[in-house]
Amino acid sequence: MSNHKEFSQALKVIPGGVDSPVRAFKNVGSEPFMVQKGKGAYIYDIEGNKYLDFVQSWGPLIFGHADKDIQDAVIKTAKNGLSFGASSPLETKLAKLILSKFDWLDKIRFVSSGTEATMSAIRLARGFSGKDKIIKFEGCYHGHSDSLLVKAGSGATTFGSSSSAGVPEDTAKNTYLAVYNDIDSVKNIVEKEDIGTIIIEPIAGNMGLVPADKEFLVKLRKICDEKKIVLILDEVMSGFRAGELGSYGIYGIKGDIVTFGKVIGGGMNVAAFAGRKEIMDMISPSGPVYQAGTLSGNPVSMAAGIASLTKIFASRNLYTKLENLANMFMIGLKNIAKNHGIALQVAVRGSMFGYFFTDKAVKNYNNALSADTKMFAKFHSGMIKEGIFLAPSQFETGFICDAMSEKEINFALKKANKVFDEISKDSAKKANKTKICSKKTVKKSVKNKK
């Protein structure tokens, strides 16, 4: 069956044809391909087309698709049962692997998605601080739980209003919005409101890639210390992606609670939240903050996570290699765009990369929103036709995996050059047409005057 026919079938039985909105390619005005399989750096659709994949399941696949070590661990573990609903040593093993990297994080609880991790972290922070009010930053995404689905308002101290139907205003009203990389916007709120929790992506990857400035994070930590605010660093995307220590390795800032996801599950459904003992012991059954999950810590997912992290820890220079490739791609892309007279802003953090079609620096959500999304859509469609799968939205991050080498990056750059050539030719044609049309209109109007 063709991609189109299969997607049409999906549309009949699944809302929008997808189980997560961005997969529908609506942001780039096209239709998605339907996946048959993935191998290493590549993903294949049901028509047999091959794409160089810079999405990598939105981050988890740091070793690429169908990595043999992770696959073997999953298959071996699955043979003993898929889920027990009772504890297994695999949970402790993965917990120890993660905690071994962060000396201030004493305990960790596993859940099945990033949404659950941040939702539970917020509840825990509220239980610990005894305060309902939280701050989140415009453009940061922390999953789709009610109190975190709050619209990016226009002002720094905008009262939260929900960005989704079905979220009670009563829930959203406890969420205050601050501006990313703008410490005054945080000060303005904490001076007026009794805030108990601040949640942030220290390396924002959900408004495109917008890393925090170090000075901003240092000041944010200081405010939290002074006001006894629980700081949640949401590293669902950046954990073990931006580097082995996530944002901590880059900024040295410690969250009171840190959330993880994606890479810690190696492609399976694993996420987690971790913190100091005194905070984590507030969670049930040790403490009064309720949190639970039927499939939490399930053995197959734990095995995938253990295999993924064990391989990461054993790989020398993994992150240097990935970062070099990300830089090669982004610097190359910027130069090619420049040669075509197209302004591009690029960013790299470890194996994460992002690019915006704008000539202005992108430091926050409003900056990101000002980028040229039409140009992005043209570029994206052109690259798909050339066999390169980039995230189908300007407001997402790209990922390099270990199965890539300079060969893949050179291939992607060559294709990008071709796509920019076509975009430039197309714009030149359109400009020419407009010129001819306007000449005709002038002549016509002169004629009419006569």
Rounded Cα distance between 117 and 233, Å, is 11
Identified binder of ligand PLP from the candidate list 42, 63, 141, 376, rule CB under 6 A? 141
Residue whose entry in the numeric block shows the structure tokens 């030719």: 425
Binding residue for ligand PLP (CB under 6 A) from 142, 221, 241, 380? 142
Q: What is the separation of C-alpha 29 from the centre of its chain, rounded to a whole number of angstroms?
A: 20
Q: With CB under 6 A as the contact rule, which of the stretches 23-31, 174-182, 231-239, 282-290 interacts with ligand PLP?
A: 231-239
Among residues 45, 53, 67, 234, the one annotated as catalytic is 234
Q: Identify the burial level of 171 via C-beta atoms within 10 angstroms of its C-beta, where 0-12 means exposed, 13-18 middle and 19 or more buried.
A: middle
Respond yes or no: is residue 262 known to be catalytic: yes
234 binds ligand PLP (CB under 6 A): yes
Of 45-53, 65-73, 88-96, 140-148: span binding ligand PLP (CB under 6 A): 140-148
429 flagged as catalytic: no
Instruction: Compute the least distance from the CB of residue 43 to ligand PLP, in Å.
Output: 18
Residue 206 contacts ligand PLP per CB under 6 A: yes
From 26-34, 150-158, 201-209, 440-448, give the range in contact with ligand PLP by CB under 6 A. Answer: 201-209
- State in angstroms the smallest separation of the CB of 382 from ligand PLP: 26
Q: Where are the beta strands (DSSP E) in 344-411?
A: 345-349, 352-356, 388-389, 398-399
**Looking at the chain, how many residues does it have?**
450
Among residues 139, 261, 266, 392, the one that binds ligand PLP under rule CB under 6 A: 261
What's the CA dihedral at 195, 201, 207, 211 to 10 degrees? 120
One residue of 237, 384, 390, 400 binding ligand PLP per CB under 6 A:
237
From 17, 38, 64, 143, residue interacting with ligand PLP (rule: CB under 6 A): 143
Least distance CB 113 / ligand PLP (angstroms) = 4
| Residue 27 in the binding site for ligand PLP (CB under 6 A) | no
Residue 208 touches ligand PLP, criterion: CB under 6 A:
no
Task: Note whether 401 and 380 are within 8 A (CB).
Answer: no
* Range in contact with ligand PLP (rule: CB under 6 A) among 65-73, 84-92, 119-127, 136-144: 136-144
Query: Each residue of 352-375: b (16+ CB within 10 Å) or e?
Result: bbbbbbbeeebbbbebbbebbbeb
How distant is the alpha carbon of residue 123 from its chain centre? 22
Q: Which of 131, 136, 262, 311 is catalytic?
A: 262
The 10 Å Cβ neighbour count of residue 132 is 15
The answer to whether 370 touches 383, Cβ cutoff 8 Å, is no
Distance, CA of 181 to chain centre: 18
Candidate list 45, 51, 67, 141, residue with the active-site label: 141
Residue of 91, 201, 402, 408 that binds ligand PLP (CB under 6 A):
201
Minimum distance from residue 269 beta carbon to ligand PLP (Å): 8
User: Taking the complex as a whole, how short is the minimal distance between the CB of residue 56 and ligand PLP, in angstroms?
Assistant: 12
Closest distance to ligand PLP from the beta carbon of 245 (Å): 16
CB 128 within 8 A of CB 290: no
Helix (H, G, I), strand (E, B) or coil at 211: strand
Identify the DSSP state of 262.
Answer: G
How far apart are CB 237 and ligand PLP at their closest, in Å? 4
Map the footprint of ligand PLP across residues 263-302, applying CB under 6 A.
271
Candidates 121, 135, 210, 236: give the one binding ligand PLP (CB under 6 A): 236
Catalytic status, residue 141 = yes
Task: Please tell me the distance from the alpha carbon of residue 138 to that of residue 365, in angstroms, as a whole number.
Answer: 6
**Cβ(356)–Cβ(362) under 8 Å?**
yes
Where do the H-state alpha helices sit in 340-405? 365-369, 373-385
Q: Which stretch binds ligand PLP (CB under 6 A): 200-208, 301-309, 403-411, 435-443?
A: 200-208
User: Alpha helices, DSSP H only, in 101-245?
Assistant: 114-129, 169-172, 183-192, 214-227
DSSP state letter for 405: -
- The verdict on 305 binding ligand PLP (CB under 6 A) reads no
Instruction: Print the binding letters for residues 104-123 with ligand PLP: x by CB under 6 A, - otherwise.
Output: ---------xxx--x-----
**Contacting residues toward ligand PLP, per CB under 6 A:** 58, 113-115, 118, 141-143, 201, 205-206, 234, 236-237, 261, 271
What are the catalytic residues? 141, 234, 262
